[in-house]
Every structure is written in structure tokens, then in C-alpha cells.
Chain A
Amino acid sequence: MYDYTDFDEAFVRGRVAQFRAQVARRLDGSLSEDEFRPFRLMNGVYLQLHAYMLRVAIPYGTLSARQMRALADIADRWDKGYGHFTTRQNIQFNWPKLGDIPDILGALADVGMHAIQTSGNTIRNVTADHFAAAAADEIEDPRPVAELIRQWSTDHPEFQFLPRKFKIAITGSPNDRAVTRAHDIGLRMVRAKGLPGDRGGL
């Protein structure tokens, strides 16, 4: 699994602190809803029919036991004891209170997770075959490439204000379990002649 570098750690912590200040300003009335909405959408917070919803990214669907326990702890402490895993490898908490969300983001940062770019018109969580690295038909594990795309697209200034949301999926297998064809960009690994050892390429 990818481990956060010091830069990643500082970036995510910085975003949590920034959002904490934005929520405080919204709650004390110094930000209007129109001013606050873009800020919450940059941090995965929706206001839905019955409550707020927080969508947390699980990059290319890879989750450690420690992260899974942190998600469960968040559900117990700040939500109703459950979350909803989505088809795009996110988890959604359906009952968070606005004032608790900075603490939830802090708990996510403790285990190298966040809700950045899980909403809004930007490049969303990069998804991969859920059987990555365990599939018999796989040419190569797609997740290192997914990680490169994630790093490239996270906080990329050119892609923060797209006309609409934008989604990328990648698979290392001929069987399209990552549903790449339904994405804005679908990447599929193919075995290419001429590469050393007939290695896979994109």
C-alpha cells in the first residue's frame, strides 16, 4: 500500500484545519450558505434529503485493516454505526452533523484517508478492479498506475473547476470488472509485443 509522505501528511492535515475554520465560520454566521457550499463540496460534504452526507475516498479500492477499523470507529462515534460502500469505491456516512465533520476528517487523516475530491466538478476517486493483484486473468496490478493518477489529479489546479465531475478507472485484466467503459477515461492494460518479457502496457 502507498504510505503518505511528509508532504502528503502535511497537505491532508492542512486541508482538515482549513475546513475546520470554514465550518466554524459557517456556524457562527460569518459565511453564508452560498459562500460555504463550494467549500463543503471540495471536502465531500453533501446536504441531502434527510441529512448531511460525507463521502470518503478509498483510492482504487485498497483499504487496510487499520483503515477499516477507523471507518467503523467513525460510524460508531459520529454516525449511526454504519456506512454505505459505493460502486465507485467510496464509503458514505449518511448522518454526520456538520460540526462533527472536521473531527471525522481528522480521524481519517490519522489513517491516511480523506474526502478530498469526492464531490464537485473535479477528478474523482480513481477506481480499479476490486480483484486487483488477486485476479488470475490479470496482466499486472493496476494500482501503481492508479496511485500515479491519484497523485497527479489531487489538487491539480487545472481540474478543480471542470464543467462536470470527471471519473477515471483502471483495470489490469481483459475482463472489465472496473467498468472502465462507463468512465470518462477508462484505462485497460494490454500485453504488448516488444516490451521486455511481453510486459503489460496501457
Chain B
Amino acid sequence: MSRGSAAKVVTGNDLRQGDVVYLAANGAWVRALQEAELIEDVAIADLRLLEAMAQGGDVVGVYLADARRGPNGPEPVHFREAFRARGPSNYRHGKQEAAHV
């Protein structure tokens, strides 16, 4: 992905569910971008990506996405990542479903 922004998060999709997931600082995969580890050093980001890819197994299509520091954790930079983080714009389905049922 783009190298335009200094800060990155490691992201991919869950193998079983297909959900968007992010790598947290403790090495766990989480559903919320806010809980992801914001990596500001490019060298460390590349290392974390390699570690995540080497884990294999549970997550598909792992890559580094641009992100920036926000008041509640990492925030998306590109609109594609905003869609992935928020879920479908049809809020009755996907990530926004729980808050609206």
C-alpha cells in the first residue's frame, strides 16, 4: 500500500468469517481499528507485517494500511480503509449492525 503516511496498522481479513481485522500491540487480531497498534516507525511496521504474515493460518491478505493517531486510537487515512473500519454504509449489516438492532 501507499507509503505516503508515516504511521501504519497491520490489517487483513479473518480466514473463517471474512471480517476485517487489525493487529493489536499484544499480537492478537482485533475487529476495531481503534484497538490496533499504530506503528510510527516504518522499519518496525515492515517487521510487524512480516511477523503477521509468518503467523499464517487465521488471517488472509495481510498488508500495511496508512493510519493516523486520533483521540481514541488509530484512524483511517484513505477512504477505503474508512469503509473497512466502519463496515458497509448500510448500517443494518456488518460491523454497524450491533448498534442498530
Q: A49-B83, A50-B84, A50-B94 in contact; A29/B17 too (CB < 8 A)? A: no
Known contacts A33-B61, A95-B93; is-contact A51 B56 (Cβ 8 Å): no
CA distance A94 to B88 in the complex (A): 11
User: Taking the complex as formed, is B19 at the interface, i.e. its CB lies under 8 A from any CB of chain A?
Assistant: yes
Nearest-neighbour CB distance to chain A for B101, whole angstroms, equals 11
Interface residues as binary, A26-52 with B (CB distance below 8 Å gives 1, 0 otherwise): 110100110000000000000111111
Cβ of A144 < 8 Å from any Cβ of B? no
Q: Is B60 touching A51 in the complex (CB atoms < 8 A)?
A: no
Question: Smallest Cβ distance from A69 to chain B, in angstroms?
Answer: 23
**Which residues in B have their C-beta under 8 angstroms from that of A29?**
56-57
Which of B15, B56, B87, B95 contacts A27 (CB under 8 A)? Answer: B15
Q: How many residues of A contact B (CB 8 A)?
A: 17
A residues 48-82 near B (Cβ < 8 Å) are 48-52, 80
Bound-state CA distance A99–B18 (Å) is 11
Alpha-carbon distance A27/B93, docked complex (angstroms): 25
Q: Which residues of B contact A183 (CB under 8 A)?
A: none
For chain B, the bracket of interface size reads 10 to 19
Contact of B19 among A32, A50, A94 (CB under 8 A): A50
Say whether, besides A32-B56, A50-B88, A80-B93, A97 and B17 are in contact (CB < 8 Å).
yes
Q: Does B100 contact A (CB under 8 A)?
A: no
Say yes or no for A17: interface residue by CB 8 A criterion: no
A94 to B17, CA, bound (A): 11
Residues 6-23 (chain B) with a chain A CB within 8 angstroms: 13, 15-20
Q: Which residues of chain B are within 8 angstroms of A94 by Cβ–Cβ distance?
A: 93
Q: Tell me whether B15 and A26 are in contact (CB under 8 A).
A: yes
A49-B84, A50-B88, A51-B94 known; A33 and B16 CB under 8 Å? no
- A22 and B5 alpha carbons, distance in the complex (Å): 39
Beta-carbon contacts under 8 Å, A85-108 to B:
94-95, 97-99
Q: How far is the CA of A26 from the CA of B61 in the complex (A)?
A: 14
- B61: chain A residues at CB < 8 Å are 33, 47
- The answer, among A26, A27, A33, A97, for a CB contact under 8 Å with B18, is A97
Footprint of A on B, CB under 8 Å?
A: 13, 15-20, 56-57, 60-61, 80, 83-84, 87-88, 93-95
Q: List 20 A-B contacts (CB under 8 A).
A: A27-B16, A29-B56, A33-B61, A47-B13, A48-B18, A49-B83, A50-B18, A50-B20, A50-B87, A50-B88, A51-B17, A52-B18, A95-B94, A97-B16, A97-B17, A97-B18, A98-B15, A98-B16, A98-B18, A99-B16
What 10 A-B pairs come out closest when comparing CB atoms? A51-B18, A52-B18, A33-B60, A50-B94, A29-B57, A98-B16, A97-B17, A50-B88, A47-B13, A80-B93
